[in-house]
Each structure stands twice: as C-alpha cells, then as structure tokens.
C-alpha cells in the first residue's frame, strides 16, 4: 500500500492467514535464526502482489464495519496477506497471494461493491484498476508475502493532511477564539486548501502510460524546460532509487518523509509551479496523486486570484495539470517504459519492483558511487536495511561503506561512526531539501 500516515483508526482487525499448503508458514519479518521451518522452492510466477485503490462512497459506519468483516472473510478464504484501508470515501489495498486467488478476491470484491451500491457491472462508475505485480526472483517467495491480513477502518483512503488530534483541537480552539483571523498553523492552512479543492475541483486529468509519453514528447519538443514540470509526489527514499527524467523538462523531487508533508512542500514551490504551463504528477500506484492534484489545483487557483487582485486587468493563466493513471507501476508494464529511470520503490515485502531499466540513479551517501539497494543484498524481510541512526529513515550506503559505519538497526560498535541521513557523523536531515532535475536531449 502506498504510504499512509496520520489517519485515526476506528476499527482494526488482524487475521492470521493460513498459508497455501505449498508455502512455508514462516513469518517473513522474523530473523533467519528464528526460522525453524525449511525453505521449499516455489515458482515465483505463481504469486503476485496486488495493488489497488478505489474512490467510492461507503456512507455509514455500519457499512464500513461490514466491509472490514468482508475483507477478513475472503482474505481467509483465499489465504491472502496484506493491508486494506476501508473508509467512508473508498478503499486502498495491497495484498499478496497466488495469482488465481487474488483474481478470485477481485471478483468477489467487485460483487460486494455492486451489492453496496445497487449496481451491475454495466452501471459501475468506479474502477478497482488492480495491478498484479511480479515477485522478485532474487529472494525466496515466502520472504515477499505478507505474514497476515490486516483490514482496518480509517477516516480517509489516504491522508494528505496530518490529522493529529492535538493539532486539530488547537486549530479548532483558535478558530473559536479568533473567528475573523485565519490561523497560521500549517496543518490548518493545508486542510483549508484541501477542503476547498474537494469542493471545487475534480482530480487532475488521467493520462494512460502511452498518452503520458506522447504528450510529454510533444510538449517538450516545443517548450523550454521550465514550462513543463514533472512532479514526484512520493517520499525521499522512494525517489532516491528511481524517478522520471524527461529531456527538456524539469522534475521536482519533493523529498518528503511522509505523504502528509507534501502540501507544505507544494506551498513552498508554488511560484515555480505557477510559472509552468504543464504539470505532470506521478506516484507509485496513483492514489496519492488523486488527492494531491485536488490540493494543487486549489493552491494554484488561490495564488492566481491573489496575483490578479494585485494587478487589475491582468489574468494569470493557470498551468494544465495531469496525473499518470495507475502510477509508475502501470507505466512499467508497457513495452517500452523509457522515461522512468531506476527502480520503483514499493510498500510491501519486496521493497522494489523487479521491473526496471537496469539503470542506477541512487548513490551511496558516503562515497557517492552508484548504489540503489537499501538492503545490501539481503531480503528486506531480514531487517538488515540501512537506516539513519536518529530518525531511522532508509538511507543508501554501498556494501563497502556499510562495513565502516553503524546504522540504527545494528549493534553499535563504538569503533565505528554512526550513520545519519545527512552523512557520517554529520546530522539528521529533518527536512530533506527539494531537488530539481533537468535533462538535456
């Protein structure tokens, strides 16, 4: 599942899924020395990671609760593991299992959603757009499957604004005490813009992978690089190992630590964004762009209105905004995904998707040589990844340099300097800087 933070869970239900008989019952998150079950060879192509989201109303708390129960029931039926968020505005899920069982799950889910909305297949106004992602062949199948299924009820499909209760309470108190004054609290400002966007705008125009390539090619041939911007809506540890790089266009790597930081980064970049003619947004599977594009439209509209009021008689033109339908994951499924460089980071036990162009865009924090493996050759499930000593964010440290430093999840050898996301014995980057990439033909 794409990165979700800040939502208040109303109901959480975890089910220990009984594995298919051909799969070892090992917990992929346990340490190797704790695993007593033998590893049996399994064909990787029989299994998939299913990634999907769907915005559709599930209007009552009772219906949300029933839907949580439904997911637990069919998850057990088909021996699936993973994470599913069920909210009044829709669903967001990532599951692991046998391909045939995932497709049975998808069919049952569509039937259940039809039942909730009294629709038939021909009447549907929603699309699950499930992406069935391949497993990596360099690590065992059982190390890439979720240990259990967790279906939980949440307030949102994905939380663009940090909904920390104390922040909300402070903002509410301030609104009551100062009704004529707009609070400067950044969370309140972001929420206000998002609320405006949800009322006034639809998500940005979807482009299929083919349309994405064609339109970018057409526009970059006729514009200067500053007029066409690609906006990466993912976190810093995702874009560090892969991103779009288009000749004669600029790519903004927002470099957030979590999705709820994105509004503040967009606000800091609004002048640059407003100067462009076309903005192409992308994320892993598409769900983050659905909300972020609504926020972006409202933010740029407010900025245009402010500038118009300062210059009567002049009308500021807003840039056209698009989003990649199905995200990077769907883009990499096409025959020639030439504009995406590096690996696609994923929020499941694989860490990265096996489909990539064999280029390495990441670099070691210490020696600055090409490197894009957070786990240094280990399976992600073994928990041997490199992390900042202070904040524990994923960091890139090559195999050679890894022997010379201590990361957060390792026993600290006093003879070795501690490794931080800002470098060796340097500092923790609480706010990683935004990066602007430009590519020449």
The pLDDT score that the predictor gives to residue 122 is 78
Q: Taking the CA of residue 338 as centre, how many other CA atoms within 13 Å lie in the half-sphere pointing to its CB?
A: 8
DSSP 46-90: GEEEEEEEEE----SHHHHHHHHHHHHHHHHHTT-EEEEEEETTE
β-pair partners for 280: 230, 322
Q: At the topology level of CATH, where does 11-153 sit?
A: Alpha-Beta Plaits (3.30.70)
What letters, b where the CB count within 10 A reaches 16 and e where it falls short, cover 304-329? Answer: beeeeeeeeeeeeebbebbbbbbbbb
Distance CA 81, CA 78 (A): 9
The pLDDT score that the predictor gives to residue 381 is 95
Tell me which DSSP letter residue 269 carries: T
The pLDDT score that the predictor gives to residue 125 is 82
The answer to whether the CB of 31 falls within 8 A of the CB of 383 is: yes
Residues of the chain with CATH 3.30.70.100: 11-153
Tens-of-pLDDT digits for all 441 residues of the chain? 444 433 333 333 333 333 333 333 334 333 333 334 444 455 799 999 999 999 999 989 999 999 999 999 999 999 999 999 999 999 999 999 999 999 999 999 999 999 888 777 778 888 888 999 999 999 999 999 999 999 999 999 999 987 654 444 444 444 444 444 445 677 788 888 888 888 889 999 999 999 999 999 999 987 666 799 999 999 999 999 999 999 999 999 999 999 999 999 999 999 999 999 999 999 999 999 999 999 999 999 998 887 666 666 566 689 999 999 999 999 999 989 999 999 999 999 999 999 999 999 999 999 999 999 999 999 999 999 999 999 999 999 999 999 999 999 787 778 899 999 998 777 898 889 999 998 765
The pLDDT score that the predictor gives to residue 174 is 44
In sequence order, which ranges of 93-164 are alpha helices (DSSP H)? 99-117
SS3 13: strand
Within 8 A by CB and 6+ apart from 395, the residues are 237, 365, 374, 386, 387, 388, 407, 419, 421
The pLDDT score that the predictor gives to residue 129 is 87
Distance CA 296, CA 386 (A): 33
The pLDDT score that the predictor gives to residue 65 is 95
Q: How many residues does the chain have?
A: 441
Among the listed residues 190, 204, 182, 195, the one whose alpha carbon sits nearest the alpha carbon of residue 267: 190
The pLDDT score that the predictor gives to residue 126 is 84
Q: At the topology level of CATH, where does 184-334 sit?
A: Oxidized Rhodanese; domain 1 (3.40.250)
The pLDDT score that the predictor gives to residue 19 is 37
The pLDDT score that the predictor gives to residue 308 is 61
Residues of the chain with CATH 3.40.250.10: 184-334
The pLDDT score that the predictor gives to residue 111 is 93
Residue 9 tokens read as: 């869970």
Residues 150, 153, 154, 158: is their CA dihedral positive or negative? positive
The pLDDT score that the predictor gives to residue 310 is 62
The pLDDT score that the predictor gives to residue 161 is 86
The answer to whether the CB of 58 falls within 8 A of the CB of 67 is: yes
Model pTM score: 0.84
The pLDDT score that the predictor gives to residue 314 is 62
Within 8 A by CB and 6+ apart from 98, the residues are 20, 46, 47, 48, 78, 79
Distance CA 160, CA 388 (A): 25
The pLDDT score that the predictor gives to residue 163 is 60
């Amino acid at each position: 599942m794409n990165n979700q933070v800040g939502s208040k869970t109303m109901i959480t239900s975890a089910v220990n899924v009984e594995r298919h008989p051909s799969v070892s019952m090992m917990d992929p998150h346990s340490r190797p020395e704790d695993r007593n079950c033998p590893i049996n060879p399994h064909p990787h192509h029989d299994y998939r990671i299913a990634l999907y989201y769907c915005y559709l109303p599930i209007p009552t708390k009772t219906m949300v609760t029933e839907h949580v129960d439904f997911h637990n029931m069919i998850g057990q039926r088909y021996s699936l593991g993973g994470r599913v968020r069920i909210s009044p505005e829709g669903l967001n899920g990532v599951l692991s299992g046998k391909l045939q069982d995932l497709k049975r799950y998808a069919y049952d889910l569509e039937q259940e959603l039809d039942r909730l909305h009294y629709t038939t297949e021909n009447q549907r106004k929603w699309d699950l757009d499930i992406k069935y992602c391949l497993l990596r062949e360099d690590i065992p199948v059982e190390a890439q499957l979720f240990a259990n299924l967790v279906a939980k009820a949440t307030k949102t499909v994905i939380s663009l604004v940090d909904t920390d209760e104390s922040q909300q309470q402070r903002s509410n108190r301030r609104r009551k005490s100062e009704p004529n004054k707009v609070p400067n609290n950044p969370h309140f400002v972001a929420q206000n813009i998002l609320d405006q966007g949800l009322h006034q705008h639809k998500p940005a125009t979807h482009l299929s992978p083919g349309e994405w390539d064609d339109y970018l090619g057409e526009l970059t041939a006729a514009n200067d690089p500053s007029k066409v911007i690609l906006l990466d809506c993912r976190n810093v540890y995702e874009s560090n190992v892969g991103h779009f790089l288009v000749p004669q266009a600029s790519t903004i790597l927002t470099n957030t630590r979590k999705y709820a930081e994105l509004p503040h980064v967009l606000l800091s970049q609004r002048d640059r964004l407003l100067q462009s003619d076309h903005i192409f947004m992308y994320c892993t599977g598409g769900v983050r762009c659905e909300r972020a594009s609504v926020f972006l439209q409202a933010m740029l509209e407010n900025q245009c209105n402010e500038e118009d009021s300062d210059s009567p008689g002049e009308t500021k033109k807003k840039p056209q905004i698009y989003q990649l339908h199905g995200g990077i994951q769907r883009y990499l499924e096409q025959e020639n995904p030439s504009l995406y460089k590096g690996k696609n980071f994923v929020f499941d036990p694989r860490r990265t998707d096996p489909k990539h162009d064999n280029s390495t865009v990441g670099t070691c924090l210490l020696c600055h040589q090409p490197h894009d493996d957070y786990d240094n050759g280990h399976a992600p499930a073994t928990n041997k990844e490199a992390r900042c000593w202070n904040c524990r964010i994923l960091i890139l440290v090559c195999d050679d340099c890894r022997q010379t430093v201590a990361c957060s999840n390792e026993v600290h050898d006093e003879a070795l300097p501690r490794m931080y996301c800002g470098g060796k014995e340097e500092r923790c980057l609480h706010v990683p800087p935004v990066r602007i990439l430009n590519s020449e033909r």
